[in-house]
Amino acid sequence: MPMPQIVLYAAMAFFVVAVIARAVKYARHPVHMRWELYPVAHEKGRAGYGGSHFEESEHWDSPRQIDHVGEARAMASEILMLEGVRRHNRPLWRFSWPFHVGVYLVIVWLGLLLVAGAVWRGGDAPVAMARAIDLVGFVGLVVGLWGALGLLYRRMADPALRSYNAPVEIVNLLAWIVYLGWALGVHAVEGGFASLTAFTGGLVTLQPVAVSTPVAVEIVLGALLLAYLPLTRMFHFVAKYFLYHDVRWDDAPNPRGGALEQRLTKAMDFGVSWSAPHVAKAASWGEAAQGDGGQEDQR
């Protein structure tokens, strides 16, 4: 099997494992104190101004009105429009949004290539499919490259951003620029993506397919980027899900006798290893909370 194919299989496997590992790591954190931040998108009729269920007199007796559609809408506008950055940092959004849209389109493009490869097994895909691949692919690569270059420029030019951006952050952006730029160049010369459709056919059917050196380089660059992504902050999709759902929008109340209360009761048995004088004597959180008030001299 040719080298690009092997590298890509390995990168895909690594990517999947790394993403799952990251999600599992965040999901397995213990229950924590409430720390939501308003507006909370699923507060029915209140999300617009940042209100909450606490606004009800005797809120514990009135049913919570969860607006799933409102939450989905907020998530969609965050994912598709980068609403938070658009609202709070328009100059950054002007590059960040095209970059993200470019990446989304590149993902769709790769999906189309896989479909074409799977359905037509390396043979010629119908014209409509080929056109769709061309359109999505070229637009995605161009827009993504434009955004990445803009982000790089901002990071280098803005003194405030520069002092917080270590070389690694620049390298991360360069990795995208190199990949997107190379892919764009290769396929602009080729006039389309036929070579890749053939390649993905082989990928799906586990058949070796020979590709030209420039395409092989493109595939290896893409594979390396894919494997590198979950090791960096650039892959924040999973973390952002947890940041919103498990922290920022986590307003789950703790009714007496409920499942949450059981988890919290268990957490009270966790050990306390802190060693300042006012804490040191407690063996567990439950014991610490019942402590004598920390009257010990602290310093």
Partner 1 sequence: MNGPISPRDLARPIEQLTEIDPKNLPPLPHPYEDWEDPAFKELTDENRERLEHSLDGIVGLKIARPDDEATRAEYVEKFLTGLDKLLDRESNWTFLQPLSLSLENCVKCNTCADACPVYESSGRNEVYRPIFRSESLRRLVNRRRGGKLASMMSRFTGNDVDASWETIARLADLSYRCTLCRRCAQSCAMGVDNGLMTREIRKLFSQELGWSPDELHKDGTVKQLVTGSSTGMNPKGFQDIVEFAQEDIEERLGLSIEIPVDKAGADILVLHNAGEFLAWPENLQAFAVIFEAAGLSWTLSSEIAGYDSVNYGLFYDDVQFARVGMKHAETAKKLGVRKVVMGECGHAHKAAMAIGDRIWLDELNIPRESSFTLLAQLLRDGRIELEPERNPFPVTLHDPCNITRSMGIVEPQREVIRAACPQFREMTPHGVENYCCGGGSGFAIMNSLNFLDWRMLVSGRKKFGQILESFAPEIDDKDLPKYVCAPCSNCKGQIRDLLAHYKAWDRSKLHYGGLVELVVNAMKGVKPGFIDWDEIDMMM
Q: Which of residues 139-158 bind partner 1 (CB under 8 A)?
A: 158
Q: Indicate the DSSP class of residue 54.
A: G
Question: 112 vs 229, which CB is nearer to partner 1?
Answer: 229
Residue 282 CB, nearest approach to partner 1 (Å): 7
What is the CA 11 to chain-centroid distance, rounded? Answer: 18
Residue 246 CB, nearest approach to partner 1 (Å): 6
Closest to 185 measured CA to CA, from 246, 248, 124, 138: 138
Residues 238-257 that bind partner 1 (CB under 8 A): 239-240, 242-244, 246-248, 251, 253-256
Tell me: does residue 163 bind partner 1 (CB under 8 A): yes
Residue 145 CB, nearest approach to partner 1 (Å): 19
Residue choice 63, 127, 206, 275 for contact with partner 1 (CB under 8 A): 275
Tell me: does residue 220 bind partner 1 (CB under 8 A): no
Residue 232 CB, nearest approach to partner 1 (Å): 10
- H or E, element range at 152: helix 127-157
- 280, 287 Cβ separation under 8 angstroms: no
Residues 2-61 that bind partner 1 (CB under 8 A): 26, 29-40, 43, 46, 49-60
Tell me: does residue 283 bind partner 1 (CB under 8 A): no
Residues 82-141 that bind partner 1 (CB under 8 A): 82-85, 87-89, 92, 96
Residue 283 CB, nearest approach to partner 1 (Å): 11
Amino acid identity, position 223: A
Q: Indicate the DSSP class of residue 284.
A: B
The pair of structure tokens assigned to 198 is 């053939």
Closest to 112 measured CA to CA, from 97, 98, 90, 131: 131
Angle between helix 3-27 and 213-228 (nearest 10)? 10
